[in-house]
Structures are given as structure tokens and as C-alpha cells.
A = this chain, B = another copy of it.
Amino acid sequence: MLCLISLGLSDEKDISLKGLEVAKSCDFLFAEFYTTKLLTNKERLEKLVGKEIKILSRKYLEENFQEILDLAKNKKVGLLVGGDALIATTHSALIIEARKQGIETEIIHNASIISAVGETGLHIYKFGPCLTIPFPEKTKGKLPESVYEILKENKKRGLHTLCLLDVEEERIMKVNEALEILLKIEEEKKEGVISLKDEIIVFAKVGSKKPLIAYGRMEEIIKRNFEETPATIIFPGKLHFTEKEFLEFFRIEKT
């Protein structure tokens, strides 16, 4: 049996009672931290679960995919993942393959940035598709034009856009890095989708004791140079007055 056990947004205490129970019942426990970064580590998770946990790198998981599935044929295997399982397509690939091979699967859900973004006061049913801003080397120096297209379409419909920032093993994209990429695309496309005058939201360290929500013009956000990670950037669409009222609590120009 293969269990995907979601860890939620911040530290080891975000695991659910159910998730912890399933983790304790597994014969083998793995974790991957390359699709999401958490404010916890192997040692703290091991202490909580009372079991050894093997951390899988992207490379290891890709190359040893079948090894893990083989193990799950006769044993209960758990994979701990940040956020909510199956948001990353890596997890879907693992689950499809398990099902093809007749291996039973179980999914334990947990909090994800996709819904936690409600904490900014924006209405969840007004979000268009979300996007990820990739590290430039992943797109071979080419600017990620699809990101621009999604932003443009969402804006046209008055919808909010949640931008996730890329994560790689030990690296995590910062707010200003992401904004620089977006401004470069605008410079090239010149369709007026992204502007320094846009009012945007930075939502970082979600689920921690001190989440950061900052609202203000992009030029102001850049000046503040927020270093907090993991971070997301939200481009609001047409705002309802209750959304506006909520966001004003986080306006940086006042502070």
C-alpha cells in the first residue's frame, strides 16, 4: 500500500491526527521536500512519528520510482509531502503508476496555499488559474510567456491570480526575483499587463506563527525587498468592497 501523507503549510505540527496515525502505521517512511519547502526537518519529523524517515531528492525519486512501488506491493509505504498531496504532478504520476500495478493507495489531505490564500481576504471563487514563476535556467533563458498569458486572461475576466514561486532542492525563489522576471516579460511583450503601479499582494510564511501579508504598489513592494520564504505573489482582479476593506489592513504605504 502506498500512502501519500500531506504535511500542510508550515512545520511538523501541521500534520493531522489522521496523518500522524497513518505515518506511525507505515513499515517504511519517505519524505520529499523538493516540491514544497516546510519550516521543519527530518529530525523533528522522525521524533514526532517515532520512525526513521528517508528524504528523497527529485533525482532519487525519479530514478528509483519502481523500487518504491515494489516495496509498496507487500509493505505499507508512506510518502510525506508538503502542502496538500497531488497538487504536484509528481505525486499524481506516482499514484497512477501504483494503481496500474494494482497497489492500493491512500491520500491524506492537508492545507495548501491554494485555499490558504483566503487569509488575504480575497474571495476564493474569484481566483482564475494559478501559475508558477520558474527559475530562468529551467526555461533555458527564455521568458515564461505562458505566465504572461495567464495573467492577461485572468485580468481580462477580473479574476485574481495566485503566483507560486519556484522551488528547487535547496533553493527557493524570492519575491523580488519573481517580480524582476515578470517585469522583463512585460518589457518584451509590451501589452500593459504588468506595471510597477499595479497593486499586488505578497503572502509569505503561510501557516507559521507570523505569516506575512503585504499589499501595495509593485514599486513599493520591490523597495521593501521582502526576503521571507516561502512566498507567493497575488495579482488581484476586480475587488469587491469587502476584499478592499480586508486588504487595507495590510497596506504597506501606510506603515
Contact = CB atoms under 8 A, between A and B. Distances in A.
A71 interface: no
Q: Which of A18, A21, A109, A206 has the most CB of B within 10 A?
A: A109
A15 interface: yes
Contacts of A126: 129
Kindly report how many copies of this chain are found in the complex they form together. 2
B13 A159 contact: no
A130 B126 CA distance: 8
Contacts of A125: 129-132
Nearest to A106: B209
Contact of A246 (B83, B96, B116): B96
Interface of A: 6, 8-9, 11-18, 20-21, 83-87, 89, 91-93, 95-96, 99, 107, 109-112, 114-116, 118-119, 121, 123-132, 153, 157, 159, 206-207, 211, 242, 245-246, 249
Given A110-B110, A129-B126, A245-B96, A17 B13 contact: yes
